[in-house]
Structure 1
Amino acid sequence: MFKNKLKLLIIGAALLVVGGIGFGLTFNNNNIDRGEAYHREWQLSDGDISRIKLMGDQDIRVNMAESNTGKNYVTMSGHLSQEAINRLDKSVKPDLDNLTIDVAHNQKWFEFLEFPIYGDQTVTIHIAKDAKLSELASDMRSGDLTINDVTAKKIALSGGSGEIQASNLTADVTSIKNSSGDIDLKNVMSNLELVNGSGENSVEGMTGDTLSITSSSGDIEANQVTAKTTTLKNGSGSIDGEKLSGELKVDNNSGDIELSGLDNATSIVSGSGEVDLTFSDVTKNVMVDADSGDVKIEVPSSFNGFLDLRSNSGDIKSPEIKTSSDLILKVRTGSGNIRVEQ
């Protein structure tokens, strides 16, 4: 019995030593591919640019600036494998009113012990003073995408697995879709649609007619939003927001809902989770339907509408309000307390 245990200990120790050696060999500097440095510049045609599209599996950072030459052109720099640089040179066709940049590593099976660490590929779009960009688009297989200071008629970003971050976007319509990865937006002036499979979703500062955020799994946060209609829909995860001005529609299957700074028609549907709402003003009807979870609503002292509160299983607490308007605050819960404060 003792001999068998001793053999097992020796075998285990040997495996640890072999694993440590393998780990060291794998992650030494000789096995890390940092790529070749490159810089490219592509001239575009004069006048408006119809579309610039980004594709690939590398981290890409995009900026937009006014051209100092009076011409439209795009620069790109970073580190890539020589093979990827060669493919890039062959695929990009300059001197047109559109440009497609495909940055893919395409690692071969026998290179599995090499670990490419290339960092960001930086793309700068230089637009002449009197020219405009019609569309900025992406179709990323993987890799993070960062967009800053872009103005276009349409922005359509699609990601596979990786984060999408953007700030200071101006467009008529902006749509962002991600299969798996966080979406983080700041300072957007556009009608905005976000669709995410799994990942956190954040919008900080948005002005437009419509905001729509749909997530299968992951938290949703929207702050400082001014829109005619805001729609937030989640399969699993919390929904939070502050200073949401305009009509609001929220549907959450599983997760807490906490929203403040509300001032318009509001419709809340909750499967399971707490609901906490704070109104800066109540100018339209409010409806809350919660299957399971407490509901707490705070209304301003000026609210003079009618309270319609019912719970199948739970306590109800509300102030005495002298009704003098047609406004209705309606709450229904299956199991959970209802509390209205003024």
Structure 2
Amino acid sequence: MDGESDDYGYGRLYEIQYAFDEGRAQTCLKNKLKLLIIGAALLVVGGIGFGLTFDNNNVDRGEAYHREWQLADGDISQIKLMGDQDLRVNVAESTTGKSYVTMSGHLSQEAINRLDKSVKPNQDNIAIVVENEQEWFQFLDFQIYGEQKVTIHLAKGAKLGELASDISSSDLVLHDVTAKTISLESGSGEIEASNLTADATSVKNSSGDIDLKNVTSNLEIMNGSGESSVQGMTGDTLSATSNSGDIEVNQVAAKTTTLENGSGSIDGEQVSGAVKVDNNSGDVELSGLDSATSVTSGSGEVDLTFSDVKKNVTVDANSGDVKIEIPAAFNGFLDLRSNSGDIKSPNIKTSGNQVIKVRTGSGNIKVEQ
């Protein structure tokens, strides 16, 4: 009897525990459903509020303005653009025989007043400051000012010494600029530029993409986090450095190209001249190579295609496959070693002095001719 009582007691306790657990599970399920319903309701209310906001007076589209500032006769030493608004900048030849700058768009009246105070006309240099400086209590106001359009009208024969920008948090679009130096800097926002001609061009961005096309200049690019792209470049040196983001360079004719990346891929087509690559993490794929090439890769595949091999080639890959395509006329040495991986290469009748040296920690090596 005692054994039967014990079994009955344990069975009863199990039934009670099971019922308790089932009830708690049902309660949890009901609570989750309530939270989902509340969350969905809040999203609907928020969407309605957002829609109503753009139908009422909380949207600040700014005041329309147009400004024109005369510049001094002769060459212009510097034009600098600063602020926190999106800018679209063009350079054109003046039709009046005088150099001047025009600017138009929409801004708050306070920003327009600050703009007027920042510019000192009739000089050989000009600084344009476009800052909105929104007050903390205006955080519910939606500001839609759009791009501010700046046109630099240079008199025929006048030269521009430097075009510079220091934009804190906005986009910069720049076209058709010829100057001795071009210095573009942004805190967070995209930088897009095309048809740049200068002795030296520097582009810096803390957080945002950099997109450059048709650059005739020595070029330096420094990007914190964002993609960097160069489409068409001619000059002595090209240097592109990124902490985190892909680097792409196409149709580059530089004596020396240096590409460094902390995390992201490095790609390029028709890259001629000496090339040095240092990539910590990410694939490297370059084609159209024809001169001394050095690649250091931490982790990622390396794929190189040569149109000619005029100088020595060195690849040091810690982890990842290495593939190299060389022209049929190559008659130099192949020095290939892998700690862990297969090696495939053509039988070359060596008579030249060029050396292709490849070392991999773990990864296959393949050379095709």
Per the alignment, do residues 15 and 318 of structure 1 end up closer, same or farther by CA in structure 2, a change over 3 Å counting? closer
Greater CA drift, 188-197 or 10-19: 10-19
Matched residue SS, 1:58: coil
Instruction: Note the C-alpha offset of 1:26.
Output: 3.2
Q: Secondary structure at the match of 1:85?
A: helix
Query: For residue 120 of structure 2, what is the amino acid of its counterpart?
Result: K
Alignment equivalent of 1:280, drawn from 296, 307, 315: 307
* Counterpart selection for 1:310 from 322, 337, 343: 337
1:202 aligns with 2:233: no
Question: Could you tell me which amino acid in structure 2 is paired with residue 132 of structure 1?
Answer: K
TM-score normalised to structure 1 length: 0.96
**Residue matched to 1:143:** 170
Alpha carbons of structure 1 residues 296 and 95: separation in structure 2 relative to 1, 3 Å: same
Query: 2:16 corresponds to which residue?
Result: none
Other-structure match for 2:209: 182
Matched, 1:23 2:50: yes
Q: Deviations along 1:103-139, whole A, 9 cap, x unmatched?
A: 0111111111111111110100011111100000001
Q: How does 1:52-91 map to 2 (within 5 A)?
A: 52-91=79-118
When residues 251 and 65 of structure 1 are mapped into structure 2, their CA distance, relative to the original with a 3 A threshold, is same
Residue aligning to 2:186: 159
Deviates more, 1:216-225 or 1:6-15: 6-15
- 2:69 maps to 42
Tell me the SS of whatever aligns to 2:102: strand
Q: Does structure 1 residue 122 correspond to structure 2 residue 149?
A: yes
2:283 equivalent to 1:292 = no
Separation in 1, partners of 2:38, 2:64: 46
Residue 21 of structure 1 and its aligned partner are, at CA, apart by 4.3
Query: Using the alignment, how far apart are the partners of 1:260 and 1:239 within structure 2?
Result: 11
Deviates more, 1:12-21 or 1:204-213: 12-21
In structure 2, distance between residues paired with 1:319 and 1:297:
11
AA of the residue aligned to 1:341:
E
The Cα offsets for residues 231-278 of structure 1, whole Å up to 9 and x where unpaired, read as 000000000000011000000000000000000000000000000000
Whether the 8 Å contact between 1:26 and 1:113 is mirrored in structure 2 is no
Return the structure number with greater strand share: 1
Q: Give the corresponding residue for 2:12.
A: none
Aligned residue for 2:57, secondary structure, equals: helix
Secondary structure of 2:348 counterpart:
coil
Deviations 1:79-116 (A, max 9, x none): 11111011101111101100101101111111111111
1:173 aligns with 2:200: yes
Cα deviation for residue 16 of structure 1 reads: 4.9
The letter for the 2-side match of 1:192 is: L
**What SS does structure 2 have at the residue aligned with 1:50?**
strand
Per-residue deviation, 1:335: 0.2
Shift of 1:29: 4.2
| Number of aligned residues | 342
User: Which stretch of the first structure deviates more once superposed, 110-119 or 246-255?
Assistant: 110-119
**Once structures 1 and 2 are overlaid, which stretch shifts more, 17-26 or 244-253?**
17-26
Please give the alpha-carbon distance, in whole angstroms, between the structure 2 residues aligned to 1:100 and 1:86: 15
**Aligned residue number for residue 325 of structure 1:** 352
**How far apart are the structure 2 equivalents of 1:195 and 1:281?**
30
- Cα distance in 2, alignment partners of residues 304 and 334 from structure 1: 26
Q: Which amino acid aligns with 2:311?
A: K
CA distance in 1, matches of 2:137, 2:209: 32
Structure (1 or 2) with the larger CA radius of gyration? 2
Number of the residue aligned with 1:110 = 137
Deviation at 1:3, TM superposition (A): 10
> CA offset at residue 31 of structure 1?
1.8
Q: In the alignment, which residue of structure 2 is the partner of 1:256?
A: 283
Distance 1:17-1:335 versus aligned 2 partners, 3 A rule: closer
The alignment status of 1:241 with 2:268, answered yes or no, reads: yes
More helix by share: 2
Quote the offset at 1:145 in angstroms. Answer: 0.3
- In the TM superposition, what is the alpha-carbon distance from 1:12 to its structure 2 partner? 5.5
> What amino acid sits opposite 2:153 in the alignment?
H
Closer, same or farther: CA 30–269 of 1 in aligned 2, 3 Å? same
Taking a change above 3 Å as real, the CA distance of residues 84 and 265 of structure 1, as seen in their structure-2 partners, is same
SS in 1 for 2:262: strand
> What TM-score do you get using the length of structure 2 for normalisation?
0.89
Q: In the alignment, is the contact (CA less than 8 A) between 1:31 and 1:114 conserved in 2?
A: yes
* Distance in 2 between residues matched to 1:253 and 1:163, nearest whole Å: 24
Runs of 4+ in 1 over 6 A off after TM superposition: 1-4
Give the superposed CA RMSD.
Answer: 1.7
Q: 2:252 aligns with which of 199, 207, 225?
A: 225
1:98 aligns with 2:121: no
CA distance change for structure 1 residues 16 and 294 in 2, over 3 Å: closer, same or farther? closer
Give the SS at the match of 2:339: strand
